[in-house]
Amino acid sequence: MTSSQATGADSAELNVALSMLTLVPGGMGGSETYARALTRQLVKGANVEAFVPKSAAGFSEGILEHVVDSVSVGASTRGRLAGVIAATVNGPAIRKMMAGADVVHYPFTVAAPRPARRQALVQSLLDVQHLDLPELFGRAELLYRRRFYEGTARRADGVITISEFAKRRMIELLGIDGEKIQVAHLGVDTTQFISNHGGRENFVFYPARGWAHKNHARLFDAMAIVREQIPGMRLVLTGGGLEALGQVPDWVDRRGLVSTEELRSLYRSAAALAFPSLYEGFGLPPLEAMASGCPVAASNAGSIPEVCGNAAVLFDPLDVDAIADGILSAIDRGAELSLAGVAHAARFTWESCRDAHLAAYRRALISH
């Protein structure tokens, strides 16, 4: 990194390695959006360099990126474990590459390889869903998370999470000292979204991977009820892994992974965003929808009420009738929610998220 990439009095004193060697591009949901935003934001406030596996070359957008050719990661649990093993086996060489860092931060949770003894370890742990909803995880995934998520969190010098809800659950379920957990709410770059307060099209939008906790099946049942009140209303789905949902009703448009431009267009034009997730450490789509002027109907589970505040209609995600009523209410209150949502989303900035990370790095370095 050149001297022109660092600003502020503290930047010369804080050197950070952003170790992302378990990254699987396109396969990590909101955590990928989070990590990419960090690479853009951390150019200010510290000397930060990114380290990515060969399979994720080009991921970093704002800081100097080092590609570790000896590490490649797959999307399955086995593929991720193979990446961890490769990073561990090649640990001495990788630690040599990161030797200039005072702090090593792992945005994707898994600390592989471990940092040098003199370096502070900071882990991002976005949620503890596997402890709150273990029935949604296979045995191999639970073992993986116990070893690499929980074990690292207990010995880390600092833990960064993305909501007060997630912090509370970590304190309660992992026994971590709350003093070492830094909450860094995710942000929305409102300049990248064009808000629409006018006419909207006849579809409900849900951007989410086809994971079990995203609750697609109940949403389908709820939308069938919505369609009784609003004939012709469709449901548009985006996100990876949607083939896992099996056969879907003919009024469901399953688009899969879409471009950023198409995603923003869907936010602008949807009658409402439905977000029936059973569990979120944060939940970014409601804020992105709000920034676009799209009315939001969202689950009252996990961190979602903390994120949505009073700018969305909240519902019980286990109750199909409640989901349907929430969607219908959001559509009916569209003009009101559209204005409230834009104002609410503007409160969440990536600059604030960055500043919380810098505070966590400095605190970890002191406590190390």
pLDDT per residue over 8-38, tens digit each?
A: 334 447 999 999 999 998 888 789 999 999 9
Predicted local confidence at residue 10, as pLDDT = 44
Helix, strand or coil, per DSSP, at residue 258: coil
Cα separation of the two ends of the chain: 25
As a whole number of angstroms, the distance between CA 298 and CA 286 comes to 8
Domains detected in the chain: 3-187+350-367 (3.40.50.2000), 190-345 (3.40.50.2000)
Single out the residue of 313, 309, 314 nearest to residue 337, CA to CA.
Answer: 313
Cβ 56 vs Cβ 31: under 8 Å: no
Cβ 356 vs Cβ 112: under 8 Å: no
**Model pTM score:** 0.90
322-346 tens-digit pLDDT = 999 999 999 999 999 999 999 999 9
For residue 236, the surrounding DSSP H or E stretch is: strand 234-238
Report in angstroms the alpha-carbon separations of 3 from 98, 107, 115.
Answer: 18, 24, 25
125-177 tens-digit pLDDT = 999 999 999 999 999 999 999 999 999 999 999 999 999 999 999 999 999 99
Report in angstroms the alpha-carbon separations of 192 from 256, 322, 360.
Answer: 22, 32, 28
CA dihedral 300, 305, 308, 311 (to 10 degrees): 80
> 307 is written with which tokens?
């994120």
Predicted local confidence at residue 26, as pLDDT = 82
84-128 tens-digit pLDDT = 999 999 999 999 999 999 999 999 999 999 999 999 999 999 999
As a whole number of angstroms, the distance between CA 145 and CA 130 comes to 8
Helix, strand or coil, per DSSP, at residue 50: strand
Predicted local confidence at residue 5, as pLDDT = 35
Predicted local confidence at residue 178, as pLDDT = 96
Single out the residue of 129, 133, 167 nearest to residue 280, CA to CA.
Answer: 129
Single out the residue of 365, 360, 366 nearest to residue 180, CA to CA.
Answer: 360
Predicted local confidence at residue 80, as pLDDT = 83
Question: Residue 3 — pLDDT band, cuts 50, 70, 90?
Answer: very low
Mean pLDDT of all residues belonging to the chain: 93
CA 162 to chain CA mean position, Å: 8
% of the chain beyond a pLDDT of 90 = 88
